[in-house]
Amino acid sequence: MCTTAVERPVPGEATDTRGRRVAGLGILAVALVIAAGVSLAVGARALSPAEVWHGLFGAPDPDQRLTEIRLIVQTVRVPRTVLALVAGTALGVGGALIQGYTRNPIADTGLLGVNSGASFAVVAGIALFGFTDPFQYVWFGFVGAAVAGVVVFGLASIGRGAGNPLTLALAGQGVTVFLAAMTTAVALTDKESLNALRFWNAGSVAGVGFDVIRPVTVFVAAGLLLALITLPALNLLNLGDDVARGLGVNIALSRTVGIAAVTLLAGAATAACGPIAFLGLMVAHVARYLTGPDYRWLVPYAGLLGGGFLLVCDIVGRLVVRPGELDAGVVVALLGAPFFAVLVWRGKFKSA
């Protein structure tokens, strides 16, 4: 059969594509460094590059102004910058993974019930034990997110529709609605829980120290490792379960490892920052637009885009209502809702 010029592989095309993707990762990494520098400089008190440098590396100085700068940079801005990068990366990767495993282009990490599980656990911890410090209730949030993820995956793994992406989505929605109702019931009976939930639900990277960030980073790192392990199998799963099985993929094991990765990533980020809607959904679509459907590239892009986007939203929140602040989760939602609406209007949802 005659082969047209269009059908013939172009020499070097694969190499060019790989080069563009690597270059894109490099550009995103540089953009992250720039955004981190801006994050250290802006806020209720703007700092010059020289002041930021002194705040990071300067020796203790008897000058009160320089001492204040060191405190602002090291105890306020560095932790929130690091947390924004860690949590944004986790949510970006988690969003890409959950869309792949459910083959649902509008899936988000909240689909597994991790957001509602964390919310309920935080409220229960405050109501039952009077926790007020983030280091105390972040553990409740993570355990709640993990338990919710396990329950959803367990429900989706039994019965006739076991392992079906639609079953997973329905189980997640059912658990989410139930836990949201329980959270409201507990919060309405306890004033302190209601006040804490009101602020925690906004989603913020401010006011969290390294005592919280360190354990969260460990869980995120574990989730990223599991995600990297399962990427080749995820590419095959998106060809269909029958094809993947025929190519030697252990579907149950791959899906279990993938869901565990999503639970670790989304659970850790949500426990530390509160539920941040739309971020995973948005960056997964942007990453897919830039890289195509290959998850070996899509997931790293989603991670860098997620970290950068959450950090930029936090910066915007500090600038638009100075000297006050908008929580990063609020800014993400303000940008995410129109993004979601445009996707629906233009019919641009691509199959995961």
Nearest residue to 238 via CA among 96, 113, 112: 96
Q: How far apart are the first and last CA of the chain?
A: 33
Average pLDDT score over residue span 7-29: 77
What is residue 284's predicted lDDT score, i.e. its pLDDT? 92
Kindly report, residue by residue over 37-62, the tens digit of the pLDDT.
999 999 888 899 999 998 888 777 77
- Residue 110 DSSP one-character state: G
Per-residue pLDDT band at 90 (split at 50, 70, 90): very high
10 pLDDT higher than 60: no
Q: How many CB atoms lie within 10 A of CB 209?
A: 15
Q: Find out whether 187 and 305 touch, Cβ atoms under 8 Å.
A: no
What is residue 130's predicted lDDT score, i.e. its pLDDT? 77
Average pLDDT score over residue span 164-186: 84
Domains of the chain in sequence order: 90-277 (1.10.3470.10)
**C-alpha distances out from residue 161 to 56, 147, 154, 170, 239, Å:** 54, 21, 12, 11, 19
Per-residue pLDDT band at 3 (split at 50, 70, 90): very low
What is residue 7's predicted lDDT score, i.e. its pLDDT? 40
What is residue 162's predicted lDDT score, i.e. its pLDDT? 57
Average pLDDT score over residue span 134-159: 80
Average pLDDT score over residue span 138-142: 83
What is residue 163's predicted lDDT score, i.e. its pLDDT? 58
Nearest residue to 271 via CA among 111, 138, 136: 138
What is residue 1's predicted lDDT score, i.e. its pLDDT? 41
- Residue 128 CA to its chain's centroid (Å): 29
What is residue 80's predicted lDDT score, i.e. its pLDDT? 95
Nearest residue to 239 via CA among 176, 177, 295: 295
242 pLDDT higher than 60: yes
161 pLDDT higher than 60: no
Residue 127: which residues within 8 A CB-CB, separation 6 or more?
Answer: 186, 187, 189, 190, 192, 193
233 pLDDT higher than 50: yes
Kindly report, residue by residue over 210-227, the tens digit of the pLDDT.
988 999 999 999 999 999
Q: Find out whether 93 and 223 touch, Cβ atoms under 8 Å.
A: yes
Average pLDDT score over residue span 173-193: 85
350 pLDDT higher than 60: no
**What ranges in 42-104 are assigned the alpha helix state H?**
49-57, 64-71, 78-102
What is residue 226's predicted lDDT score, i.e. its pLDDT? 94
Kindly report, residue by residue over 198-207, the tens digit of the pLDDT.
777 788 898 8
Q: How much of the chain exceeds pLDDT 90, in percent? A: 32
Q: Find out whether 69 and 54 touch, Cβ atoms under 8 Å.
A: yes
> Which element (helix H / strand E) includes 180?
helix 165-188
